[in-house]
Amino acid sequence: MSDKLGARVEGKGGETIVLLHGFGGSHSTWTDIQPSLARYARVIAYDLPGHGRSLDFPGAGPATVAAKAVAADLTARGIEKVHLVGHSMGGAVATLIAMRSPERVASLTLLAPGGFGPQINGELLKRYANAPDAGALGSIMDEMSAPGFSTPPKYVLGLAAVRGQRGQRANLDTFHGIIQKDGVQGEIPREALAKLAMPVNLVWGTADPVLPFAQTQNLPENIRLTPIDGAGHMLTVEAKPAVLAAIRASLVAGSP
């Protein structure tokens, strides 16, 4: 096993943006997001523990392990402060990093993050974890998106290629049981979120079939909500312009 995280690094500049994918994804989640951001910043898109090029990371599964791994990798790279962006499970990981090391986080952009409420579509995630081929995977990705949205083939094929690694689907089936139990996920307390001092932008599709938009209720005043009307859960594919705009807004808010 390797305790080093896989990552794709693009761009350069005085600021660093870190991109954290969701359950079952990889750095390729950000294929059409990272290059745009890399025009004016260094951008690191990680493969979280147990995924992609970090498949054999020891202890992979819990978000706490992923949070510690990303923080350790940033330290090893000599990076002191970053703008964190996380989607779904990656949003939960980003939030944990910000809670534990707030001095290291200039801004936090959360795309339909895990942990903001108990509800989760466990049955859909289980089918997503165990999709046997690209055809099944594409159909499930469509289900995770807004009604009527068809996932472009390049995203399906890219994700299917990652799933082709020996042990990847077995990992995801195990992780699925860690993320949710009987359709309930662990929650990050609202009082902990209220203590975050950096700019926090919460971006959520109003038609999300995986993590319901209703989880945006009763947010602390320090969290800015950016709803995306009619979007589902796969925001980096469904709503790229809105996602980029939200990240750029966070960069402005969190820059000195």
pLDDT tens-digit series, residues 190-219: 999 999 999 999 999 999 999 999 999 999
Report helix angle 134-143 to 122-129, nearest 10: 160
pTM comes to 0.97
Structure confidence at residue 4 as a pLDDT band (50, 70, 90): confident
Separation between Cα atoms, residue 113 and residue 215, nearest integer Å = 10
Whether residue 112 is predicted with pLDDT greater than 80 in this model: the reply is yes
The pLDDT of residue 256 is above 80: no
The total number of residues shown for the chain amounts to: 256
SS3 (DSSP) at 29: helix
Residue 129, token pair as written in the block: 């974890």
Distance CA 146, CA 231 (A): 5
Query: What pLDDT is recorded for position 255?
Result: 83
Q: What is the mean pLDDT of residues 64-79?
A: 96
- Give the integer Cα–Cα distance in Å for 58 and 23: 17
Distance between CA atoms of 247 and 121, rounded to whole angstroms?
A: 26
Q: Could you tell me which of 240, 251, 247, 252 has the C-alpha nearest to residue 110? A: 247
Residues 6+ apart with CB under 8 A from 235: 87, 111, 112, 203, 205, 228, 242, 243
pLDDT at 2: 64
pLDDT for position 1? 57
Mean pLDDT of the chain: 95
What's the confidence (pLDDT) of residue 183? 86
Q: Give residue 181's pLDDT band: very low, low, confident or very high (50, 70, 90).
A: confident
Q: Residue 254: its pLDDT value, please?
A: 87
What interhelical angle do 168-179 and 122-129 show, nearest 10?
170
Nearest to 23 by CA among 74, 83, 91: 91
pLDDT at position 99 is 97
With contact defined as beta carbons under 8 Å apart, do 172 and 166 qualify? no
Going by pLDDT thresholds of 50, 70 and 90, the confidence category of residue 24 is very high
- Residue 108's pLDDT is 98
Q: Is the pLDDT of residue 70 over 70?
A: yes
Taking each continuous run of H as one helix and of E as one strand, the counts in the chain are 10, 9
**What pLDDT, on the 0 to 100 scale, is given for residue 13?**
85
Q: Is the dihedral of CA 124, 126, 131, 137 positive or negative?
A: positive
